[in-house]
Chain A
Amino acid sequence: MSSEAKHDAIYWRIFLALAGLTVLTVAASYIQLGHGLNLATGLVIAVCKASLVAMFFMHLKYEGALNRGVALFPVVCFMILAGVLVVDLTDRWIDQWGNKGASHQVLEGGGGHGGHH
């Protein structure tokens, strides 16, 4: 709490970092790195930005274990959900690549805008 309580300069520095990362993530999206690497880059930058906001703007860095735990709880829940989904979907992708006829095109016939017509 000591240095943070006296100076607001830290907030300006965090803002500059966030703006810089925003420019970086837009620029990176125009470079073809392969879809896995593009996705990873976008997500890593987003996680960095989110951490800066949570730690400094939301003062999580200076919070006690209780509030930190409450903040972390939905993040863990999300990671469990995303993890289980990716495991399930990877299985389907392999199936899709293996047998093109048996693809899991959930959207097919649903919208009419999908370019299947």
Chain B
Amino acid sequence: MENVAVATLPHLSAQHARAKFGMWVFLASEVMFFTGFFGAYIVLRSANPTVFEQDFSVLSVPLAAVNTLFLIASSLTMALAVFNAQHGDRERVGNFLMATIMLGCGFMVIKTIEYGTKFSHNIFPSTSVPYALYFTLTGFHGLHVFAGILALLVLWGRAQAKAAATDMGSACELVGLYWHLVDLIWIFLFPLIYLLKFP
């Protein structure tokens, strides 16, 4: 019974508080990881704005905009999954986790189409510095989405197996924090790579 109370009221669990602190430290390290790339972006783009302008102009704004909406919607379903996990509604947790996984997969499918179009036009990371940066930033972000989908699948499996009711709320919130961060990084990548025109 005590375990159920822990799942329902996670802020009472010292173990969960420590786990969440650990997750925040990990997320901070993730932000620092991307900070390096953003630094490279600032230096390289300002060094030669016209080349960036020219190369980035072929990137698809509609595809990226749809992908932005996918990630935002997936953040909503993730937040709702966490909310229901903390209120003990296991079935809805499973459904919202699956919705999040589907939206994440939708993002990856569009990203694959986007990359496929670039490759078919002979645009590769080695083509130019702007494209190297484009593939590096969106590629590492895509890897993070992929890792998030794997974590969500594990979580979804646990929700289906009705295992360990105790830490469903805790695990859900931790994976949720990671998923929201992936969304948050995309929120900056989207305008910086696809929208902004500098010269």
Binding site for B on A (CB under 8 A): 1, 5, 8, 11-12, 14-15, 18-19, 22, 25-26, 29, 35, 38-39, 42-43, 45-46, 49-50, 53-54, 56-59, 66-67, 70-71, 73-75, 77-78, 81-82, 85-86, 89, 92-93, 104-108, 110-115
Q: Could you say which of B21, B28, B47 contacts A107, with CB atoms under 8 Å apart?
A: B47
The stretch of B70-78, B106-114, B138-146, B160-168 in contact with A is B70-78
Interface contact A71-B44, CB-CB below 8 Å: no
Q: How far is the CA of A78 from the CA of B51 in the complex (A)?
A: 25
**Closest CB of chain A to B115's CB: distance in Å?**
17
Known: A15-B73, A93-B46, A114-B51. A39 touches B187 (CB 8 A): no
**A46 x B188 contact (CB < 8 A):** yes
Closest to A85 in B: B42
CB–CB B69/A22 < 8 A: yes
CA–CA, A26 and B183, complex, Å: 17
Number of interface residues of B (CB under 8 A): 58
CB-contact partner of B65 in A26, A50, A56, A105, under 8 A: A26
Among residues of A, the one whose C-beta sits closest to the C-beta of B31 is: A74
In the complex, what's the smallest C-beta–C-beta distance from B175 to chain A, in angstroms? Answer: 12
**30 A-B interface contacts by CB (under 8 A):** A8-B84, A15-B72, A25-B190, A43-B191, A45-B191, A46-B190, A46-B192, A53-B183, A53-B184, A57-B76, A57-B78, A58-B177, A66-B21, A67-B20, A67-B21, A70-B27, A74-B32, A77-B35, A85-B42, A89-B43, A89-B46, A89-B47, A92-B47, A104-B47, A105-B47, A106-B43, A108-B48, A113-B127, A113-B131, A114-B54
Q: Is the CB of A22 within 8 A of B76?
A: no
Q: Which residues of B contact A1 (CB under 8 A)?
A: 11
B32 touches A57 (CB 8 A): no
B197 within 8 A of A: yes
A104–B177 alpha-carbon span in the complex (Å): 41
Q: Which residues of B contact A56 (CB under 8 A)?
A: 79
B119 CB–A CB distance under 8 Å:
no
Q: Which residue of B lies closest to A28 (CB)?
A: B195
CA distance A108 to B47 in the complex (A): 10
CA of A53 to CA of B75, assembled, Å: 8
Within 8 A of A (CB), among B27-52: 27-29, 31-32, 35, 38-39, 42-44, 46-48, 50-51
Tell me if B83 counts as interface (CB < 8 A to partner A).
Answer: yes
Q: Is B196 an interface residue (CB 8 A)?
A: yes
